[in-house]
């Protein structure tokens, strides 16, 4: 086998949560381009159709499932729909999430719990649902953040806590499911990429971080998506329990 063939996702079914916008769209397109059929999940069901059109334009099948990952029953229903449509689930990309920047002394219990519920608990419920049906050779890719590894000058207690917890969850599930179920579990820690989330930052914020970006620029979503495809594919067949920072060097600056 040619080494490049290891990066293909031909014949696989990839579930992408948070697939209605931003990086979720990039992940869905990249996996489809690598040969996978895609299950698209998000709360905003109407916007999933746009992502589905992009997947189908690449010659792959797409299934849209309205899913709020904070509800375990909805995660189970999403997986049931995927199994009914495709017969198997091979990859999960836990992308659904929200970000906040609220000073700790003003953050309400509701605000904190909402971030934890979506970013951490939602990832767990989706993982649990997919893990029940995944076969050996499957892969789970959790989306953490460099904010789970370092700080970036904003008051992000809930967000940083949720993303740091994702890293711990990744390690634990990797050791639970490695030899017993043959499922690899990894995470990526994205740096700064232009998305709907970064549009909430104050003017000039990203520019102010440029001195911490060793490569001197923000990231292109396709660079992040390429890492996701690698972790999903057989090319990363001996990689599990790892968190890969894709951050232009922010965490070493």
Instruction: Note whether residue 101 is domain-resident.
Output: yes
Q: Is the pLDDT of residue 27 over 60?
A: yes
Please write the tens of the pLDDT for every residue from 117-131: 999 999 999 999 999
Please write the tens of the pLDDT for every residue from 205-250: 555 666 778 888 888 999 999 999 999 999 999 999 999 999 999 8
Share of the chain above pLDDT 90, in %: 77
Instruction: Note whether residue 253 is domain-resident.
Output: no
Confidence of residue 80 (pLDDT cuts 50, 70, 90): very high
- Alpha-carbon distance of 138 to 178, in angstroms, equals 10
- Residue 103 sits in which domain range? 3-246
Is the Cβ–Cβ distance between 221 and 26 less than 8 Å?
A: yes
Establish how many alpha carbons lie within 13 A of residue 88's alpha carbon, considering only the half-sphere containing its beta carbon.
Answer: 13
Q: What is the pLDDT of residue 152?
A: 76
CA torsion sign for 232, 15, 145, 48 is positive
Confidence of residue 101 (pLDDT cuts 50, 70, 90): confident
Instruction: Note whether residue 252 is domain-resident.
Output: no
Give the CATH number, domain containing residue 14: 3.40.50.720
Q: Specify the length of the chain in residues.
A: 253
Is the Cβ–Cβ distance between 18 and 42 less than 8 Å?
A: yes
Instruction: Note whether residue 251 is domain-resident.
Output: no
Stretch 77-84: mean pLDDT: 98
Instruction: Note whether residue 199 is domain-resident.
Output: yes
Catalytic residue among 124, 159, 205, 238: 159
Instruction: Note whether residue 50 is domain-resident.
Output: yes
CA-based nearest residue to 61, from 22, 32, 92, 41? 32
Q: What is the pLDDT of residue 239?
A: 98
- Tell me the average pLDDT of the chain: 92
Number of folded domains that form the chain: 1
Could you tell me the CA-to-CA distances from 62 to 49, 193, 198 in Å, in that order? 9, 25, 28
124 part of the active site: no
Confidence of residue 42 (pLDDT cuts 50, 70, 90): very high
């Amino acid at each position: 086998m040619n080494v490049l063939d290891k990066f293909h996702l031909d014949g696989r079914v990839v579930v992408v949560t948070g697939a209605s916008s931003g990086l979720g769209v990039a992940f869905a397109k990249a996996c489809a381009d690598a040969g996978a059929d895609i299950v698209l999940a998000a709360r905003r069901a109407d916007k999933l159709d746009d992502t589905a059109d992009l997947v189908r334009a690449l010659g792959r099948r797409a299934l849209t499932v309205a899913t709020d990952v904070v509800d375990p029953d909805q995660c189970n229903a999403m997986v049931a729909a995927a199994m009914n449509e495709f017969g198997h689930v091979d990859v999960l990309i836990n992308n659904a999430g929200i970000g906040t920047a609220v000073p700790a002394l003003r953050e309400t219990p509701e605000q904190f719990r909402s971030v934890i519920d979506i970013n951490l608990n939602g990832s767990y419920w989706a993982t649990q649902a997919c893990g029940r049906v995944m076969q050996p050779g499957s892969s789970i890719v959790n989306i953490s953040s460099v904010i789970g590894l370092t700080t970036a000058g904003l008051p992000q207690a809930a967000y940083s806590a949720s993303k740091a917890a994702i890293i711990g969850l990744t390690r634990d599930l990797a050791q639970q499911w490695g030899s017993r179920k043959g499922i690899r579990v990894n995470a990526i820690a994205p740096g700064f990429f232009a998305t709907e989330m970064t549009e909430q930052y104050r003017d000039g914020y990203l520019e102010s971080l440029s001195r911490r970006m060793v490569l001197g620029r923000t990231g292109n979503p396709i660079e992040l998506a390429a890492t996701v495809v690698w972790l999903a594919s057989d090319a990363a067949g001996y990689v599990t329990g790892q968190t890969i920072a894709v951050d232009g060097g922010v965490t070493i600056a």
